[in-house]
């Protein structure tokens, strides 16, 4: 049995070094970690972690918080970052085919909770980065906070296009929104939020969403599961998300670990290396 944390921010963890984070997570049964970028600087850090740690993969992107400063210059920088990494950091998987440890574009999308960027700025940044992901045949990691309709409106333009695949990370919406996401082919990823006493509507989503469409994640260092509230989150705590899903679906943790890991490996094209 092993877990895959499909969304973490190793560079933001304060109480553990990156080396300690990766080592402790492995001891907790976490085989792979996808470290997610939120800015150009953190995207560069993400790529460094992917290069430096065998079991860490990278996602790069500009978070909606920073959409106000995202323009053609930043898009070109992100494009160049992706192209140079892919061309210079390829490995061979079990099939002998070359692959890159850069596996996604994200996290990108809308955030109307903190409102640090205007809606049009977030929409522009979101759309242009989706197109960048399509250019390099990579999936998209979507950040959505209080922007259900805006997220769906943008995704509808790309759903069905060849190569488009995306996941709504840290899902906290209701069953209606989940259904609309699934209709567009999106995947859904759950965090420690589902363990909170006030989890509410999202528990219905956990109960009803097809297992073949879900991932698990920590979003560490944020959103530590209820049994670890008050502590800094890290990828090793992803097992508590799996345990909650297993409880709700009346399955074993081993089954949830196996299902979500296979989902992630296929979606992100992770390789045994």
Residues in the chain: 273
CATH number for the domain running over 3-267: 3.20.20.140
Q: Sign (positive/negative) of CA torsion 195, 172, 59, 71?
A: negative
- pLDDT means per 10 residues in the chain (273 residues)? 98 97 98 98 97 97 97 97 89 64 97 93 98 98 97 97 97 97 98 96 97 98 97 98 98 98 97 58
pLDDT reported for residue 93: 64
Question: What is the pLDDT, as a whole number, of residue 4?
Answer: 98
Beta-carbon contacts of 143 under 8 Å, excluding residues fewer than 6 positions away, are 63, 64, 106, 107, 108, 109, 110, 111, 169, 170
pLDDT at 94: 59
């Amino acid at each position: 049995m092993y877990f895959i944390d499909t969304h973490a921010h190793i560079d933001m963890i304060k109480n553990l070094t990156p080396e300690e984070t990766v080592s402790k997570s492995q001891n907790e049964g976490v085989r792979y970690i996808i470290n997610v970028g939120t800015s150009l600087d953190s995207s560069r850090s993400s790529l460094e972690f992917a290069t430096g740690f065998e079991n860490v993969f990278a996602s790069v992107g500009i978070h909606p918080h920073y959409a106000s400063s995202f323009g053609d210059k930043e898009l070109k920088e992100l494009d160049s970052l992706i192209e140079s990494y892919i061309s210079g950091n390829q490995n061979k998987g079990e099939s002998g085919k070359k692959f890159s440890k850069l596996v996604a574009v994200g996290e990108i999308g809308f955030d109307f909770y903190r409102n640090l960027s205007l809606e049009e700025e977030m929409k522009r940044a979101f759309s242009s980065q989706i197109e960048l992901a399509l250019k390099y045949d990579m999936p998209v990691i979507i950040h959505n906070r209080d922007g259900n309709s805006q997220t769906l409106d943008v995704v509808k333009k790309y759903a069905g296009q060849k190569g488009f695949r995306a996941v709504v990370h840290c899902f906290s919406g209701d069953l209606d929104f989940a259904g609309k996401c699934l209709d567009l082919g999106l995947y859904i990823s759950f965090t420690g939020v589902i363990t909170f006493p006030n989890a509410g509507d999202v528990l219905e989503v956990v109960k009803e969403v097809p297992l073949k469409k879900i991932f698990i994640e920590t979003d560490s260092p944020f959103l530590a599961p209820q049994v670890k509230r008050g502590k800094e989150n890290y990828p090793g705590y992803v097992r508590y998300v799996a345990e909650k899903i297993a409880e709700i679906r009346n399955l074993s943790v081993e089954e949830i670990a196996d299902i979500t890991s296979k989902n992630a490996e296929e979606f992100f094209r992770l390789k045994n290396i």
